[in-house]
Structure 1
Amino acid sequence: MKLSQKEAVFASEVVTRFELYNSLFLTLPFYQVKHTGMLLPFFTSHCEEGVKQQLSPEDIIASFFGQYEQYVQASDRFDLLFRFIRYIERQVVLFDAIEDSAFTRTGRSEETGNLEVLLRQVAENPALKKELIEKFKDFSLRLVLTAHPTQFYPGTVLSIITDLTEALKTNDINMVNQLLQQLGKTPFFNKNKPTPVDEAISLAWFLENVFYTVASTIQSQIENEFDVPLFDTHQLIELGFWPGGDRDGNPNVNSGSTRAVAELLRKILFRCYYRDFRVLKRRITFRGVEGFMNNLQDLFYENSFNNVADPSDRQAEIIENLQQTKDVLIKDHDGLFVAKVDDLIRKVKLFGCYFASLDIRQDSRILRTTHQSCRSEGLLPAGYDGLSEEEKLEVLQFTEEDHPCAADADDLAKDTLETIRLMKKMQHAGGEKASHRFIISNCQQASDILQLINLFLWSGWKKESLTVDFVPLFETVQDLHASADVMERLYTHPFYQEHLAKRGNRQVIMLGFSDSTKDGGYLMANWSIYQAKIRLTAIARKYGVQLAFFDGRGGPPARGGGKTQRFYATMGKEIANEHIELTIQGQTISSQYGSFDTAYYNMEQLINAGIISSRQADDKDTLNSGQKGLIDQMAEESYKAFVGLREDPLFLKYLENHSPLKLLSQINISSRPVKRNSGSELKLEDLRAISFVTAWSQLKQNIPGFYGVGTALKKAKDDGLWHEVKDLYEQSGQFKTIVDNCMMSMSKSDFRVTSYLKQDAQFGHFWERLSAEFDLTHQMILDLTGNCMLMEQYPIERKSIGIREKIVLPLVIIQHYALQKLNEITDEEQASIYHKLVIRTVYGIVNAGRNLA
């Protein structure tokens, strides 16, 4: 079969180069590295053959070692397995770097276009230029970095990957070899669990080394194409930040870590400014600017390297000095180096004195408890807690009464009130945008937001200067269905109406995929969110509210990831889409925003998707009532199938026994516990979605990304609706995206790895249930799409996934072998070794999964 041009480029630029550079691994500074490198291909082939024969991981490992007389002792076998793991971890990094280095030649798709094409059209079409001026004046993209542990290389490894990518671009073999040597000696994981501040330091690497430059470059390109000011009153690109602010279910986050992260972000930003300023100072050596340049020198240096007592927002002062410098250059020095001054002015306008807005997030149940703890101060009417929701909305009093936290309040309540006070100090230090959003997780009623406003008014904030946006987070299927009613109560509440008017009549609503997928399965989660967006948009438009959806999207499709830009480009007219806001996390950060090229591409794609969605003249992406009814039927059928599986008594037991779920808490890549209520027995509702999805992905089953879809499609076909479903796939960009992302999840699944479980006395029937749904979904999706294989329309991504799966297959087999042994042995010393084998394999398998995003 003839390869397309891009496939041929991928084969030569990625596949062939990986094979060539892979030979350099034999020079890595590992113990017995040559021996390891020589045996690994044989072990990989042995694993592949064993999986084809559906052997158990224990049999695969035993038969491999049976071929080598020197591996009779258990200690020698363990030693080789750990060496394989270490070797493969570095192979994953090499493949990442080679893919990134070839990204500009292999990674660009024509799905939604790019800025260059859009701006070229603007130059040739005055009418389009006028239209886009209005669009850009109203549009923004907000990317929020979160520390959810779906992939986390230490900053040292990220720096090596960046340098390795650059060396690979020029085929600098000597430098590549040196960097691989460095990689061999650099630890890939922490010995201790990171603190929230540690997580912030890791993520700040991306702010400093990628976003600082890319955001400015994109905004500059757009500004230069239009001859009118576009971003004087708003930013095109905004950055948000969760480490240190997201305390939902994370007892390790407190007001102290929030303060430390805010100070860290400010200091790192000023160091970025100082580096740029030093370049500027080397060029601007003229008379007339000395005073302004000296002011800037002192200001940048002081805030970069010293601990400033009571820091304040210096943005206006910085811009004033830069503007004065620019004026002198234009007036007296022929405008020399004005572009460099403009570049720094643009960055200061983009990032202020805060770099990224530190969002605060807490669960509504904690906020309710905090509100209740203030009753001793006489701030709540008698019997308030026993009132109905309607009665609470009637009697809520918004009294400005600054007082300390109640002495008998619990630690979480005290921290909540301390953090609310801290937000005011953060705004003083970095400007309003330093911390201006409080997100209420598990938001279920209007009083959850209004009571939080009370807490602000009781903590030193004033009604007239309450520069905070209150963001409800709706995530479960039930909460998504109720969300529009909750928001209508808010929009019609007199006090909230006044507050919203002061905030520009703009409401941000967060919708999360993770818990809705865990709650209702893949298809129902996607459909519930889509329907909620339609209802929430209608309510907002009814009351004249400008709505911005903030999407909590993870890396894998099961957590809302996948082809994100197509998701936004196909919203339709019924959904507000003037502002795109989404979380980026885990492997999504490093895979899509880990370098200038990838970050630029993905940000321009999102901007372009938002503009395209708002310009759709024929409204082809808006679903009609028949299409909605069809998806609704399929979502209900899928939901019944998933809930039936979830309620199976073996559901959690299966995950606990055959995935690394119980051991995830020992993996030092996150400060967050694996589950809420960490001291209690494991319950599905307490299990964090990230742990839930990770456990299934380690099993190579990815149940949250497809289960129930096949059942739903088959029911539609049996009911004589197959022609309508096929038309829906062809006509609806949203439904096509849902199906294509489902295919991506399935492409990362391999039920052969666990096929030995069909003989298991306890879990055999349960495994067959999972496998049967996978086979059915596979069959139905190929029938629906007319393809011969999954992801046939995305050959480069399919090839990338295939190579990555081959690289990590030995890790998967080692992990499942260790889990098998843990279910059999009682010896504590050996159990400890098997624990370490499982934990070490998780890193490589997760890191290799970057193309889930």
Structure 2
Amino acid sequence: MTVQPQPLGSEAGQALRAEPIEGLRHEVNLLGSLLGDVLREQGGEALYDLVERARRATIAARTTGRVAERLRELQERFSRLSDEDLFGIVRAFGIFFHLINLAEQHHRVRTLRQRERMEPALHESIEAALVALRDRGLPPDTVAKVLGELLVFPVFTAHPSEPRRRTVLQRLAALARSIQQLDDPRLSPRERDWLLERLREEITLLWQTAETRVARPTPLDEVRSNIAILVGPVYDVVPLLRRALERALQRSYPELVGREWPVPVRLATWVGGDRDGNPSVTAAVTEATARLLREAIVRRYRDEVVELRRALSVSARVRPASETLLDRIDRERERLNLAPVRAWADEPYRRFLGLIEERLRRTEAGEFGGYFTPEEFLDDLRLIADSLESGKGLRIARGRVADLIARVRVFGFHLAELEIRQDAARHREALAELFALDGVSNYLERTSDDREALVLQRLAGKPFGFPRGALSPETREVLETFEAIVRIQRFNGERACHTVIVSMTSETADVLGTLLLAREAGLVDCYTNKAWSRIDVVPLFEQIAELDNCGAIVERLLSLPFYREIVASRGDHLEVMVGYSDSNKDGGYVSSNWRIYRAQEQLARAASRYGVTLRIFHGRGGAIGRGGGPMGRAIRSRPMAARTPVLKVTEQGEVIFTRYSEPAIGLRHWEQMIHALVQSVLGEPEPPVPTEWLSTMERLASLSQAAYEELVKGHPEFVAYFTTATPFPELATLNLASRPVARRAGSDGTVRFADLRAIPWVFSWTQSRVNLPGWYGLGTALERVVEERGAEILRSMYRNWPFFETLIDNAQISLGTAELTVASLYAQLAEYPELFERIAAEYERTVRLVLTITGQVELLERSPVLSRLVKLRNPYVDVLHLAQIELLRRYRQLAADSEGRRARLLDAIHHSINAIAAGLQTTG
């Protein structure tokens, strides 16, 4: 949790410099003090005093109970400040929150270590899960079966919800390293002074670094940022997870320790492959991405092999290596045409690792003698491990050598599986053109059944085979994407790129048509005895109607002999994706969550009926309105039919930095997911959900969706209100990512609700403290159901049904972190006050009903750490909101010909967006 900091640069903070730092409170005060020093140096006493007056004013507003009145008074004072003063306030509080977030992250790691020392098995760890199974008497074979299937499968995306530049993230990482050193009790007074001076230096660098980009990043910029995380902290987490699993087995099921268990994680990425609505992602970009991923991981392996070579100084005079290893050294040296290394004459492992290093260099350069597959690399590493074990070096073999083996098994030569995503509409348009050239017109205007029949008929015949010059650029690009997959697989193996996600899937022809397009590149074959495919076509169901119908679509597909053969060629594994963001935007919070729950049941039944193994891919975001919330709780709230020991899930935007920038936190994140997966599959069985609860939930979803649609789709001025009562238009100009914030806009720049992308939709409501996508419609639905059926049934559902408990508690997070007093100030930027009144009334209704059902006096009563965090941060975020509102008002009222001032104001607004995101620790 966070703590109330002292004034920036206060004497209390200054006094701490001579004392050891103990805990989060001291770190926060110290960092505030150091920031105060920098503010005085960079902005002078005037800026420092302005920041302090604003801070004291908002604290007083929150502690006197006169929040609305005091905030309006401060808003009036802000209206008289210069643009430069407002910008200075934004920068000061934004950097303050960056520092506090780092301190909290460090405190979390410190707390985890303390708990590990105190608890027999750390809560929600792998060890805790297996010990619980042992205590219940589950036999080793049962546990072994689940461990063999267990898989955490994060997919890293480049969705535009990380507003900070990579440069800023690097500056924060440097600060984090210095903050960690504050805990070192061995620091002398002189070393401590040096460390504090380094912190001032880093804070000064952060102050003098612009937090926003001057240009929108390209897809390859995003790829490089993604790679930095993958070959950095994620690479470091993998062996930690291997060791955590081994330790857990030793303490719970020692009879299973001797087996070589795979690290239960796979990695994928959409960065460089997601072309849904992003014209910048082309086939050439996707191929370049695959090359960059390969180069990065091979280079990382070389670095580790060099470190391993330095470490494995085992002498043949002390412990000879195996004859097999010695023979391999001689053969490889001759094959690579290398002279013997005299310096390592009696150190065979160093000689062999030197050869491995040379082979990796040639692999990276594409020269003769490199590794063709990662399996060849693994064979060499296992040969080292076997030789060490045979020579009483078991402990060495199971240390760093085993760590590298684990990494190669996870990362291969591809680093992360590169997944392709494209909108079903683009594929339909390409098929329409191909069919038209083949003499079949009106493909798009036909019924879905007609399209399915046409595609199946064509699959039974020959490929279209039209020359590329005869096709439109759009259709050429679609086909070139599949050709790029062929080249990537040829270059780096099928594992490197084999998943094609079809977003907005609404019918069987969307899946079958994708296979037909892939056949043009030779990825699918229908002429042999059995149809086969070298790709997995994954339908993505992400709107309410499609989620309702997804079970029928998949069942129809599996009933087709051709498609069933395709699935059989993929090992009888079927992957289907469900989308949280667009379904929430389409039908609201309650309806989206319920439809996804029912969709999982439908999909599981269809897969079971046709004997295929189903993997549901969850397209979750960081915010509650996009499927966010505690991951463990989400896993346990899955329907019984869909509780498999596998979780594939997107990791998006700022969530990636939060979860993976520190290896200890990354390990904790994976362990918590694994704990929840094991418990959900092997935990105490739950009774079937009563029919009455199901019908009540259906009623809630229907009522909630109606209330939501009446507001966002029924009110003719709602989009105009949204785009003026939030910073959405200015957020659209913030160079967050290579993908635009809306699919298309009118000629006058207006945007339709249907074209708003879900991420900036949620981001904007978060900035204005409404959090509407995380709760709107719930209150109306609960009130009606209480009138119809009474409150007790809802209380019983909350106490006894994990899904409903999660639904209500996640809404609590959205409600508890919303701030309607602040939101009312944003509403003054817009017309149509009745819209805010309606939103505010639904908020009050929802809070009242949630408290009734949960039996609480106030929101987040059972989440005291989060509740305290929100209350402590609110005064500081209030300052940023008031500054942003004033900046928005000035910017929007300024004449278009005032280019210089408009640019400066817009830059200040962009920084305020970053600062508020840091203060709330969420974007969208």
Task: Judge same fold: TM > 0.5, yes or no.
Answer: yes
Matched, 1:321 2:380: yes
Q: Helix, strand or coil: the match of 2:671? A: helix
Which residue in the other structure is 1:136 paired with?
A: 147
How far apart, CA to CA, are the structure 2 residues paired with 1:645 and 1:106?
44
Deviation at 1:386, TM superposition (A): 5.7
How far apart, CA to CA, are the structure 2 residues paired with 1:485 and 1:674?
32
AA matched with 1:181: T
Which residue in the other structure is 2:431 paired with?
A: 371
Deviation at 1:827, TM superposition (A): 5.9
How far apart, CA to CA, are the structure 1 residues paired with 2:363 and 2:37?
44
- Which protein is bigger by CA-based radius of gyration? 2
AA matched with 2:53: F
Q: Residue 63 of structure 1 is aligned with which of 60, 77, 102?
A: 77
Q: 1:80-91 residue pairs with structure 2 within 5 A?
A: 80-91=85-96
Which residue in the other structure is 1:642 paired with?
A: 708
Deviations along 1:665-713, one digit per CA (max 9) or x if unpaired, are 2101111111012465411111100111111111111111111111111
Which residue in the other structure is 1:444 paired with?
A: 506
Unaligned runs of 5+ in 1: 4-10, 72-76
Contact kept, 8 Å, 1:144 with 1:241, in 2: the verdict is: yes
Q: Residue 658 of structure 1 is aligned with which of 714, 719, 725?
A: 725
Deviation at 1:352, TM superposition (A): 0.4
Contact kept, 8 Å, 2:359 with 2:369, in 1: the verdict is: no
Which residue in the other structure is 2:867 paired with?
A: 798
Deviations along 1:308-359, one digit per CA (max 9) or x if unpaired, are 7999852022112212222333345644731222211111111100111111
Contact kept, 8 Å, 2:159 with 2:737, in 1: the verdict is: yes
Question: Which range is displaced more, 436-445 or 740-749?
Answer: 740-749
Q: 1:609 to 1:739 in 2, by over 3 A?
A: same
Identity percentage of aligned residues: 25
Deviation at 1:514, TM superposition (A): 0.7
Q: Helix, strand or coil: the match of 1:792? A: coil
How far apart, CA to CA, are the structure 2 residues paired with 1:290 and 1:179?
40
Contact kept, 8 Å, 1:440 with 1:472, in 2: the verdict is: yes
How far apart, CA to CA, are the structure 2 residues paired with 1:215 and 1:604?
11
How far apart, CA to CA, are the structure 2 residues paired with 1:801 and 1:461?
52
Which residue in the other structure is 2:219 paired with?
A: 196
Question: Which range is displaced more, 336-345 or 644-653?
Answer: 336-345
AA matched with 1:821: R
Deviation at 1:761, TM superposition (A): 9.1
Q: 1:16 to 1:772 in 2, by over 3 A?
A: farther
Q: 1:612-627 residue pairs with structure 2 within 5 A?
A: 612-620=679-687, 622-627=688-693
Contact kept, 8 Å, 1:815 with 1:838, in 2: the verdict is: yes
Q: 1:274 to 1:757 in 2, by over 3 A?
A: closer
Deviation at 1:409, TM superposition (A): 2.8
Q: Residue 409 of structure 2 is aligned with which of 349, 356, 367?
A: 349
How far apart, CA to CA, are the structure 2 residues paired with 1:340 and 1:675?
48
How far apart, CA to CA, are the structure 2 residues paired with 1:257 and 1:574?
39
Q: Helix, strand or coil: the match of 2:651? A: strand
Deviation at 1:118, TM superposition (A): 2.7
Q: 1:794 to 1:105 in 2, by over 3 A?
A: farther
Matched, 1:17 2:27: yes
Contact kept, 8 Å, 1:241 with 1:357, in 2: the verdict is: yes
How far apart, CA to CA, are the structure 1 residues paired with 2:684 and 2:389?
44
Deviations along 1:754-774, one digit per CA (max 9) or x if unpaired, are 435778893211111111111
Deviation at 1:477, TM superposition (A): 0.5
Matched, 1:846 2:917: yes
Q: Helix, strand or coil: the match of 1:407? A: helix
Question: Which range is displaced more, 413-422 or 467-476?
Answer: 413-422
Q: Helix, strand or coil: the match of 1:536? A: helix
Contact kept, 8 Å, 1:757 with 1:763, in 2: the verdict is: no
Which residue in the other structure is 2:635 paired with?
A: 568
Deviations along 1:562-589, one digit per CA (max 9) or x if unpaired, are 1121010232422243310110112221
How far apart, CA to CA, are the structure 1 residues paired with 2:561 and 2:263?
30
Unaligned runs of 5+ in 2: 4-20, 183-191, 316-346, 526-530
Q: 1:211 to 1:758 in 2, by over 3 A?
A: closer
Question: Which range is displaced more, 463-472 or 779-788?
Answer: 463-472
How far apart, CA to CA, are the structure 1 residues paired with 2:500 and 2:764?
30
Question: Which range is displaced more, 188-197 or 279-288?
Answer: 279-288
Deviations along 1:725-769, one digit per CA (max 9) or x if unpaired, are 011111111111111111111122111124357788932111111
AA matched with 1:245: G
Q: Helix, strand or coil: the match of 2:885? A: helix
AA matched with 2:104: E
Contact kept, 8 Å, 2:917 with 2:923, in 1: the verdict is: no
Q: Residue 302 of structure 2 is aligned with which of 274, 294, 301?
A: 274
AA matched with 2:607: A
Question: Which range is displaced more, 329-338 or 804-813?
Answer: 329-338
Q: 1:209 to 1:519 in 2, by over 3 A?
A: same
How far apart, CA to CA, are the structure 1 residues paired with 2:516 and 2:739?
28
Deviation at 1:803, TM superposition (A): 3.3
Deviation at 1:247, TM superposition (A): 0.5
AA matched with 1:88: F
Contact kept, 8 Å, 1:509 with 1:550, in 2: the verdict is: yes
Contact kept, 8 Å, 1:401 with 1:457, in 2: the verdict is: yes
Question: Which range is displaced more, 138-147 or 803-812?
Answer: 803-812
AA matched with 1:89: G
How far apart, CA to CA, are the structure 2 residues paired with 1:31 and 1:178?
12
AA matched with 1:168: I
Q: 1:413 to 1:221 in 2, by over 3 A?
A: same
Deviation at 1:604, TM superposition (A): 0.7
AA matched with 2:425: R
Matched, 1:167 2:178: yes
Q: Residue 492 of structure 2 is aligned with which of 430, 435, 449?
A: 430
How far apart, CA to CA, are the structure 2 residues paired with 1:761 and 1:336?
68
Q: Residue 475 of structure 2 is aligned with which of 413, 428, 435?
A: 413
Question: Which range is displaced more, 576-585 or 511-520?
Answer: 576-585
Q: Residue 752 of structure 2 is aligned with which of 670, 683, 687?
A: 683
Q: 1:307 to 1:822 in 2, by over 3 A?
A: farther
Q: 1:197-346 residue pairs with structure 2 within 5 A?
A: 197-223=220-246, 225=249, 228=256, 236-285=264-313, 286=315, 287-289=347-349, 292-303=352-363, 306=365, 313-332=372-391, 334-335=393-394, 337-338=396-397, 339-346=399-406
Contact kept, 8 Å, 1:122 with 1:129, in 2: the verdict is: no
Contact kept, 8 Å, 1:797 with 1:851, in 2: the verdict is: no
Which residue in the other structure is 1:8 paired with?
A: none
Q: Residue 393 of structure 1 is aligned with which of 424, 429, 452?
A: 452
Deviations along 1:381-440, one digit per CA (max 9) or x if unpaired, are 677666543344344232564846542433332122111111122122322221110000
Question: Which range is displaced more, 235-244 or 800-809?
Answer: 800-809
Contact kept, 8 Å, 2:763 with 2:923, in 1: the verdict is: no
Give the RMSD, CA atoms, in angstroms. 3.0
Q: 1:60 to 1:513 in 2, by over 3 A?
A: same
Matched, 1:729 2:729: no
AA matched with 2:386: D
Which residue in the other structure is 2:656 paired with?
A: 589
AA matched with 2:273: G
Which residue in the other structure is 2:209 paired with?
A: 186
Q: Helix, strand or coil: the match of 1:188? A: coil
Aligned length: 832
Question: Which range is displaced more, 57-66 or 675-684?
Answer: 57-66
How far apart, CA to CA, are the structure 2 residues paired with 1:375 and 1:542?
34
AA matched with 2:706: K
Q: Residue 38 of structure 1 is aligned with which of 49, 52, 67?
A: 49
How far apart, CA to CA, are the structure 1 residues paired with 2:519 and 2:485?
13
Contact kept, 8 Å, 1:400 with 1:461, in 2: the verdict is: no
Q: 1:88 to 1:303 in 2, by over 3 A?
A: farther
Q: 1:422 to 1:756 in 2, by over 3 A?
A: closer
How far apart, CA to CA, are the structure 2 residues paired with 1:229 and 1:613?
23
How far apart, CA to CA, are the structure 1 residues paired with 2:258 and 2:280?
41
Q: Helix, strand or coil: the match of 2:877? A: helix
Q: 1:60 to 1:806 in 2, by over 3 A?
A: closer
Contact kept, 8 Å, 2:508 with 2:557, in 1: the verdict is: yes
Contact kept, 8 Å, 2:432 with 2:441, in 1: the verdict is: no
How far apart, CA to CA, are the structure 1 residues paired with 2:491 and 2:566?
23
Which residue in the other structure is 2:646 paired with?
A: 579
Q: Residue 38 of structure 2 is aligned with which of 11, 25, 28?
A: 28
How far apart, CA to CA, are the structure 2 residues paired with 1:167 and 1:759?
43
